[in-house]
Amino acid sequence: MYALPIAYVDRDDLLLTFTFGKREGQIWLLRWNPPWADEEYDPEQHVFFVADSLIEFLHLLTTTDDPYDPSTLALDSPKIRGSQLDALLKSLGCKRFRYVGVKSQTALPPKWEWPKYRRADEDLPAIMSLEKNHTYGYAPKCDERPKGHKMLQVNVTKSQRKQCMKELMDKLGDDAVLVNA
C-alpha cells in the first residue's frame, strides 16, 4: 500500500518508493511472484528494503571507492620537506623504500613504507610517496596548490585510513594540509 513503482528491475520485478506511512520516501524491491490459484498471497513476503531515500539509492549506484586511491597531504612548509620529512616519518616507524631493479630516465619519487599499517587490499606495509602536484602520471591534481608543489600520497587500507592519517597529521602539524582523504 502507498507504493509507487519507479523502475523495472528484472522482468516483472519493480523498484518502489513509498509515498505515505512508516516507509515514506524509502526504496524497496518487489520481487513479483504471483500466487497460484486458491493460494494465499502475502505481498510483504516479496518486498525487500533497498535504501532509506532516493538519494541514498543513487549513491548505491555510483562506483565504489577505489582501494588504491591514496590520501594526499599538501606539504605547505619547508619545515616538513627533505631531511626533515625523512626524520618525522622515521620517528613514526616508517622506513625508506628502496627501488630494486627499477630503471627510469627520470628520478623516482622518494617513498617510505609504514609497517604499522597495511597497504590497500594487500598484505604489505602502507606506502607513502613524495610527489609533485599537477605533473605527470599518477601525481596529485590539487587545484588549490601550484604545479610542482610537494605532496605526500599515502596508500593505506580503507579500514586503517582514518587512524593512519590522524597519526600522520598529528606529527606533521599545521605545516601539512589533508587535501584528499
Per residue of the chain (181 residues), give pLDDT as tens: 788 999 988 778 889 999 999 999 999 998 877 767 777 777 677 888 999 998 888 877 875 566 667 899 999 999 999 999 999 999 999 999 988 888 777 788 899 999 999 987 678 999 999 999 988 766 788 888 999 999 999 999 888 999 999 999 999 999 999 998 7
What residue ranges define each of the domains in the chain, with the CATH number in brackets? 3-61 (no CATH), 71-180 (3.30.530)
For 6, other C-beta atoms within 10 Å of its C-beta total 12
Cell numbers standing for residue 165 = 592519517
Closest CA to 6 of 19, 17, 18: 17
Query: Where do we find the cell 522482468?
Result: 11
pTM as predicted: 0.63
CA-based nearest residue to 131, from 102, 152, 156: 152
Q: Which of 52, 35, 80 is nearest to 170 (CA)?
A: 80
- List of residues 6+ apart from 80 with CB closer than 8 A: 88, 172, 173, 175, 176
